[in-house]
Structure 1
Amino acid sequence: MVPVLLSLPFLLGPAVHRETPGAGPYSLTFLYTGLSRPSRVLPRFQATAFLNDQAFFHYNSDSRKAEPLGPWRQIKGMEDWEKESQLQKAREEIFLVTLKDIMDYYKDREGSHTLQGMFSCEIQNNRSSAAFWRYAYDGQDFIEFNKEIPAWVPLHPAAWKTKQKWEAEKVYLQRAKAYLEEECPRMLRRYLNYSKAHLDRQDSPSVSVTGYSVPGRNKTLKCLASDFYPPEIGLRWIHAGKKRESESRVDVLPSGNGTYQSWVVVEIPPHDRGPHFCLVEHSGLAQSLTVPWEEKQKAGAEGNVETQPQ
């Protein structure tokens, strides 16, 4: 589970698929991380909230403040950030107590230990469509909430003690179920009143095609698409009307500014002068985009790069 938690923006990016802008699905996700040994870089506790794949506020144990991120810094009235800071402080205390309890179970005070938690709800066509709540300890699945039973389901032997503690009062199970099925979707709907335009936007990709050749070796063609949103994109090389079978594709990656980038690379024989085309399909484009590469001159020395304009 820990790769999922550590790579949440990567996970939520390609996973959020919207065929019809405005219909969803839309998700609200909270990611928590607690450390037994904090450092200058990583605080003892931090929380990040996401709308779909976009981080919109962050809290940590150093600042003790919930602060909006990105475009949400400019939105007034979306949240009472002082109140949210107090809520995250309370969750910090509970979270770190849970981490201590698990370490006590193992009787291990040496080294650094990590507890991560993530819960999320989703709505589509304004109706609740999915929800989950789970934890991981030191990179291993630990415990998750089954809202249908409802009950906490241990995923590790040490989690039985946590299950007993969290289920000591049955009312807490009903509260957890209500939080996922009622309160979380209600928060998400409220946040969408301020955020749908940003989440539904269609930023078309910027595309560049480059060629790299080394004497005596295959040529390498690269098609790079950048600055696009949402993250779903089709990207492939075409020659003589057929897809190139030898191409290699890079996953869609965050650009760090709320958009995404991806590229596809293909190798062709030294004598092949094209034409080759990069086919780009994205919801921000009125129609598929075909960007050509065709060698204009004899291949040069190692490191020669040719860029075909879009």
Structure 2
Amino acid sequence: MSAMVPVLLSLMLVLGPAVPQETQDGPYSLTFVYTGVSRPKEGIPSFQATGYLNDQAFLHYDSESRMAEPLGLWEQVDGMVDWENESQLQQAREDTFMETLKDVMHYYRDRGNHTFKGRFGCELRNNSYCGAFWRYAYGRRDYIKFNTEIPAWIPLQPEAVNTKVKWETEGSVQAAKDYLENQCPKMLQHYLQYSRPFLDRQDPPSVSITTHRNLGLIRILKCVAYNFYPRPISMYWTQAGKPVETESWGESPLSENGTYQSWVIVKTLFLDRGPYSCHVQHSSLAQPLNVTWNDSQ
């Protein structure tokens, strides 16, 4: 049986990222998310891998296509990734990852359909390493994680002690630490040469207000901000210049066009004519947006 961590790390090191140009500010992150399923339903791959730069997916691979492919805005980018080599790399990672899932199921004495997930990556700020992460989950429970400071694999379930002993006996600790603190940041620096226009962009929000009547005497005002990037945004309601208590708020995940949507809701009496104002603050705006509603609208 193949050894998951040493083999995975050796495959990662094959990439040999180019010497990076200067990158500033941030933080920027490079994250890979792996998912393996022991008995997938029809039409669902047994293994999937997705690569993220910050919150944006740029790479996808699965066991059905056996091909690594660019996603979203990165379909327009040439030269950042050798996709043929990346496909071969992900194929090998798939094999070792699924072998590990079998090992873990054996430790639990499990049969049937089970899911194993891995998440690992690193972060940069001002062109310098500022953090890393590598952890696994089995089903809905955290299973094992890597601590770069000790360094060591930390079991999060009793059964994970078996994995810790196996991986550390195979000499994975220093290799994992080197990947997270050296190889991964260099890869991220290389990717940023091509990706900063996407990651640093500032898309201002559009704002609209909708209303509907609820339970007879109650009117619901909903302020929606949409098509904005990056994600952080501040939204609140005021009446006559004074903040009013928010009934609820929410946000949508990153859309296919690479933007976010958020909303904030306030309840008023149906006879209340307002005016109410929705205030929106975002890094793309020189000054906050103020959109006013009153009963004459």
Q: 1:138-287 maps to which residues of 2 (within 5 A)?
A: 138-170=139-171, 172-214=172-214, 216-287=216-287
Residue segments in structure 1 that go unaligned for 5+ positions in a row: 1-20, 297-307
Secondary structure of 2:88's counterpart equals helix
Question: For residues 216 and 77 of structure 1, what CA distance do their matches in structure 2 show?
Answer: 60
1:231-263 deviations in Å (ceiling 9; x for gaps): 100111110111111431113532332100011
Q: Are the structure 2 counterparts of residues 246 and 231 from structure 1 closer, same or farther at C-alpha, using a change threshold of 3 Å? A: closer
- Root-mean-square deviation over aligned CA pairs: 1.4
1:113 aligns with 2:114: yes
Q: Are the structure 2 counterparts of residues 252 and 62 from structure 1 closer, same or farther at C-alpha, using a change threshold of 3 Å? A: closer
Question: For residues 102 and 255 of structure 1, what CA distance do their matches in structure 2 show?
Answer: 35
For 2:142, the aligned partner's letter is D
Report if the CA contact (8 A) 1:22-1:196 is conserved.
Answer: no
Secondary structure of 2:157's counterpart equals coil
Aligned residues: 275
For 2:123, the aligned partner's letter is E
Q: 1:119-130 maps to which residues of 2 (within 5 A)?
A: 119-130=120-131
Q: Are the structure 2 counterparts of residues 276 and 105 from structure 1 closer, same or farther at C-alpha, using a change threshold of 3 Å? A: same
Taking structure 2 as the reference length, the TM-score comes to: 0.89
Q: 1:75 aligns with which of 74, 77, 83?
A: 77
Q: 1:26 aligns with which of 25, 28, 51?
A: 28
Question: For residues 54 and 214 of structure 2, what CA distance do their matches in structure 1 show?
Answer: 43
For 1:40, the aligned partner's letter is E
1:12-56 deviations in Å (ceiling 9; x for gaps): xxxxxxxxx951000000000000012234211000000000000
Question: For residues 215 and 101 of structure 1, what CA distance do their matches in structure 2 show?
Answer: 56
Q: Are the structure 2 counterparts of residues 214 and 162 from structure 1 closer, same or farther at C-alpha, using a change threshold of 3 Å? A: closer
Q: Are the structure 2 counterparts of residues 104 and 204 from structure 1 closer, same or farther at C-alpha, using a change threshold of 3 Å? A: same
For 2:150, the aligned partner's letter is I
Q: Are the structure 2 counterparts of residues 146 and 215 from structure 1 closer, same or farther at C-alpha, using a change threshold of 3 Å? A: closer
Report if the CA contact (8 A) 1:253-1:262 is conserved.
Answer: no
Farther off after superposition, 254-263 or 56-65: 254-263
- Cα deviation for residue 200 of structure 1 reads 0.4
Report if the CA contact (8 A) 2:59-2:71 is conserved.
Answer: yes
Q: Are the structure 2 counterparts of residues 67 and 246 from structure 1 closer, same or farther at C-alpha, using a change threshold of 3 Å? A: closer
Report if the CA contact (8 A) 1:210-1:221 is conserved.
Answer: yes
Taking structure 1 as the reference length, the TM-score comes to: 0.86
1:104-160 deviations in Å (ceiling 9; x for gaps): 122222x31000000010000000001010000011110001111211111001111
Report if the CA contact (8 A) 1:212-1:219 is conserved.
Answer: yes
Secondary structure of 1:236's counterpart equals strand
1:74-94 deviations in Å (ceiling 9; x for gaps): 111001111111111111111
- Structure 1 stretches of at least 4 aligned residues deviating more than 6 Å after TM superposition: none
Query: Identity rate of aligned residues, in percent?
Result: 58
